[in-house]
Amino acid sequence: MQALADQLEVSIMPVREAMARLVSERALEVLPSRSVRVPLIDEEMLEDLRHARCVVEGELVRQAAGNLTPSTLESLKQLTTECEKAFVELDTRHAIETSRLNYRFHFEIYQAAGSKVLLPIVQSLWLQSGPYVREAAAIYKANPDLTAIHHHWAIVEALEAKDGDRAAAALREDITESYNLIKCHSLTKKKGS
């Protein structure tokens, strides 16, 4: 923690508070040695996170379907176009960019739902699944023929039609594809070990 505080040029207290929050959100875990790490994931936990995200985020998409303004829909299209461009030149910098654009795309929709209860839940789920979904970006980088952007276009199309169920189905495919990539990649790595 001290090294991180030094790097950020802050006292140890904000770092300690941030770590405590991330532990309470289950994005980090404290080990018996009092060190902190990203929780190890197994297939069961990965599936549980995928399912929870599909349920909670699907409901937010349904709620948002009738609330999106034309300018918000244009913003979603722009974010998707920018993400497509970042995928074309996928390297470390663009992997960070695709993650940032993906987050902005999803949360612009979720905020439009107007749920003060579900939004913090989905934020916690993203914190918990972030390191693993980030792994999906690395898999996409290694397999340039793959891209998940078509799911974003399907979500936008359904939202333009104010079809919450169709948007939720496209979202479920978006989430599931990334998790399936991670699962398949992990199993391949295990077999290769």
Q: Is residue 72 scored above 90 in pLDDT?
A: yes
Q: Are 53 and 129 in contact (CB under 8 A)?
A: yes
Q: What is the pLDDT of residue 29?
A: 82
Residue 24 confidence class, pLDDT cut points 50, 70, 90: confident
DSSP bridge partners of 29: 37
Domain range annotation of the chain: 2-37, 43-192
- What would the mean pLDDT of 119-143 be, rounded to a whole number? 79
Whether the predicted pLDDT of 119 surpasses 70: yes
Topology (CATH) of 43-192: Four Helix Bundle (Hemerythrin (Met), subunit A) (1.20.120)
Which is more confident, 193 or 123? 123
* 65 close to 162: Cβ distance less than 8 angstroms: yes
Q: How far is it between the farthest Cα atoms of the chain?
A: 53
Q: How far apart are CA 86 and CA 95, in angstroms?
A: 7
Note the pLDDT of residue 186.
Answer: 62
**Given pLDDT bands bounded at 50, 70 and 90, which one contains residue 190?**
low
19 CB-side CA count, 13 A: 17
Is residue 127's pLDDT more than 60? yes
State the pLDDT at residue 169. 98
At 42, the pLDDT band (50, 70, 90 cuts) reads confident
- The rounded mean pLDDT for the chain is 85
